[in-house]
Amino acid sequence: MPASASMQDIRTRYEQARAALSSPNPNLDAIRPQLSQLKVGLIQLAMETEQVLADPAFLELQRSVIELGAELSIKAGDIVAFERYLAQLEPFYFGGRLGLAESKVMYPLIGLNLLRMLSENLIADFHTMLERIDLEQLQTNPFIVHPVKLEQALMEGSYKKVWQARSEVPTPEYVFFMDILMTTIRNEVASCVEKSYASLPLADAKSVLFFSNLDGLLKFAQEREWTVSPADKRITFKAAAADACAFQGESIMKQTLGYARELERIV
């Protein structure tokens, strides 16, 4: 077993990895082994001496390494890994923060996590997370305000605003999730459109569904099984099946039998 690295050693290696990630065109594959080495080093250090866990310098280094991992996974587009890193960061970010000062990347990462929840349609988790963020940050921090505004627009149905919000991202990392969000929105809009319009001209449908060209729209229409008539240049939607009024014999039978049984017990 190799002798474990000292804390100073790990810090230097962390700085190197951080510098590599911050460069304009980072080589992600090169950073990944560095990151796992850092993690192994930290664990070895923690296993050797228990009291290092109470050392703020060690905790801060640990937090920085996890943050590095989170940022790396965003750059690589690995959502599962990102989620895992954020779960690890939770004790550092909420509650007593383990006695550490606030991290610089804390709010950008929380904002990204919020955006991830939106893009995966985890609205309940989104709101649970919001409850835990300070109100002041909630109203002023640009990294948090952006997803909050997005969520409001989404809930109202102002999809145009959501579409515009793509160009107003606070950091370039947000674009990754915004792109996923756009697909979600397009599906949302499509399900709204199906219900609320009888038919729609192709040109209008293109703008309503945020398509830049007709081909994309036609393909999308095919996926959702809409009928497109090339002659009129219109999309016609299926009428909703009106079977709500059908007589539900079985459930009524079950209910009546249930009443009979209960009454039998009373009399």
Query: Token pair of 162, please?
Result: 């959501």
Q: Is 257 in the site for another protein (CB under 8 A)?
A: no
Write the interaction track for another protein spanning residues 96-135; mark x where CB under 8 A is met and - where it is not.
---------------------------xx--xx-xxx--x
Rounded Cα distance between 115 and 123, Å, is: 10
160 binds another protein (CB under 8 A): yes
Q: Does residue number 245 form part of the binding site for another protein (CB under 8 A)? A: yes
Residue closer to another protein, measured from CB, 36 or 128: 128
Does 238 contact another protein by CB under 8 A? no
Our CB check for another protein shows the closer of 78 and 120 to be 120
* Window contacting another protein (CB under 8 A); options: 9-17, 23-31, 48-56, 153-161: 153-161
Write each residue from 68 to 97 as x if it is in contact with another protein (CB under 8 A), else as -, in one continuous string. --------------------------xx--
| DSSP secondary structure code for residue 50 in this structure | G
Question: Which is closer to another protein, CB of 85 or CB of 176?
Answer: 85
- Spell out, one character per residue from 175 to 214, where the chain touches another protein: x when CB under 8 A holds, - when not: -------------xx-xxxxxxxx-xx--x---x------
* Spatial strand order in the sheet of 227-229: 199-201, 234-236, 227-229
Longest dimension (CA), the chain: 83
Is residue 155 near another protein by the rule CB under 8 A? yes
239 part of the interface to another protein, by CB under 8 A:
no
Torsion 29-30-35-40 (CA) sign: positive
16 or 256, CB closer to another protein? 256
- Answer for which of 15, 156, 179, 232 binds another protein (CB under 8 A) is 156
Of the candidates 98, 99, 113, 30, the residue with the CA atom closest to the CA atom of residue 67: 113
3-state secondary structure of 123: helix
Stretch that binds another protein, among 7-15, 37-45, 158-166, 213-221 (CB under 8 A): 158-166
Q: How far is the CB of 236 from another protein (least distance, A)?
A: 13
Strands 234-236 and 227-229: antiparallel
Q: Which helix (H) or strand (E) holds 110?
A: helix 106-119
Which among 120, 118, 117, 86 has a CA at the least distance from the CA of 103?
Answer: 86
End-to-end alpha-carbon separation of the chain, Å? 80
**Smallest distance from the beta carbon of 177 to another protein, in angstroms?**
21
Do 135 and 126 meet the contact criterion of CB atoms below 8 Å apart? Answer: no
Residue with tokens 């921090």: 141
Enumerate the H helices of 7-55 as residue ranges.
7-22, 28-48
Residues that bind another protein (CB under 8 A): 94-95, 123-124, 127-128, 130-132, 135, 152, 155-161, 188-189, 191-198, 200-201, 204, 208, 244-245, 247-248, 252, 255, 258-259, 262, 265-266
